[in-house]
Amino acid sequence: MPLGRVTQVVDCRESMGMGKGGGLAQRGTISECRRPDVVIVGMSPGRRHVTKPVCDITSALRREGVEFSVSTMVLNAGSGIPADAESIAGSVLGAHFGVNEKETAQIEQHKVAVLHHGNVRSHVVEKVRKILSQCNIDAVVVTQAPIDCEDLAKVGVKTAFVLPAEKDIRTKGRVVAIVTGVTRGQTPPREKIAEVISAVMNVIKH
């Protein structure tokens, strides 16, 4: 007699995780899925960059009936800022954020990307620009920082609501929704998860 549960088998990552029980994905890994519709892109794990909201969003989307079409990616170079970040050039030392050819191909297999990039406003907009300059995909931006489409358009990001001047466009992909107030390292409130799900489902249905 069925108990009302659905068994899912998830290929969680390309290589072993970090920490107790291998629970945290390493940088440069992606969880594969049967039908690639949605990819959740998180920063490289570390002391400041934790992947907590990414896991919650992935689980929530699977509960909504897209369990066989949600991938989770942890970028290999997900820390720092892009080397070509003009708006904050020279202000940050250390690692440079970037997306390699393999990651670009993996992201572009999907219909929509959910991009999570922390809580520093200028870093978020530049990281979104960098990913979408290489990946031709619709994106939902999830962040703790209060950003809007105007902020993204100022650095050349195409959005569904505000477009940069044609000569200033720097992206192939575009942002179709922004969900702010998702605190890094904490479980997102139910209403924020609902916003992400709604935005993602709108893209998939169309």
Confidence of residue 128 (pLDDT cuts 50, 70, 90): very high
Q: Residues 45-84: pLDDT tens digits?
A: 554 444 577 778 878 887 776 654 677 777 777 777 888 8
Tell me which of 192 and 47 has the higher pLDDT: 192
The enclosing H or E element of 60 equals helix 52-61
Of the given ranges (103-112, 129-138, 152-161), which has the lowest mean pLDDT? Answer: 103-112
Q: Give the per-residue pLDDT at 126.
A: 93
Q: Does domain 25-205 have CATH number 3.40.50?
A: yes
Q: What is the Cα–Cα distance from 98 to 8, expressed in whole angstroms? A: 32
Which residue would you say has higher pLDDT here, 66 or 9? 66
Predicted pLDDT of residue 90: 54
Distance CA 44, CA 18 (A): 12
pLDDT score of 49: 46
Distances (CA, A) of 155 to 9, 120, 125, 149, 169: 40, 15, 7, 10, 8
Question: pTM of whole model > 0.85?
Answer: no
